[in-house]
């Protein structure tokens, strides 16, 4: 992860994130769209600025707390895909969902440390 700005995370913060996806390295550009600590964080991945080359990916994290426990819910939305990429995106929905679940597991492990 490479921050593209300084200071604490806030709406407007940006970074590039490189990870291995489907056996290849992929770099994507993220921006914090909404930051209502501690209830909600909305991230936008601009596919035109990264390896994907197109599309817009919106990730909404909602955090609810009850006593000493918190629950994080992730909703994702993909926009701006056309033609074969739209069809491929629908075919890859299950794989994408598994990748998001893996990210949530990693976040849980990080927060519990």
| pLDDT for residue 31 | 96
Q: What is the pLDDT of residue 98?
A: 81
- Give the CATH number of domain 2-112: 3.30.530.20
pLDDT in tens, 81-92: 776 666 565 656
Domain definitions of the chain by residue range: 2-112
Burial 69-106 (b: 16+ CB within 10 A, else e): eeeeebeeebeebeeebeeebeeeeeeeeeeeeeeeee
pTM beyond 0.85, yes or no:
no
Express each pLDDT in 61-104 by its tens digit: 999 988 888 888 888 888 877 766 665 656 566 777 787 788 78
Share of the chain above pLDDT 70, in %: 89
């Amino acid at each position: 992860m490479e921050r593209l700005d300084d200071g604490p995370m806030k709406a407007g913060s940006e970074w590039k994130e490189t990870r291995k996806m489907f056996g290849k390295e992929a770099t994507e550009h993220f921006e914090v769209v909404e930051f209502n600590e501690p209830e909600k964080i909305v991230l936008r991945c601009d596919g035109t600025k990264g390896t994907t080359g197109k599309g817009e990916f919106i990730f909404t994290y909602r955090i609810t707390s009850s006593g000493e426990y918190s629950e994080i819910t992730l909703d994702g939305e993909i926009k701006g895909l056309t033609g074969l990429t739209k069809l491929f995106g629908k075919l890859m929905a299950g794989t994408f969902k598994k990748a998001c679940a893996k990210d949530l597991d990693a976040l849980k492990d990080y927060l519990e440390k």
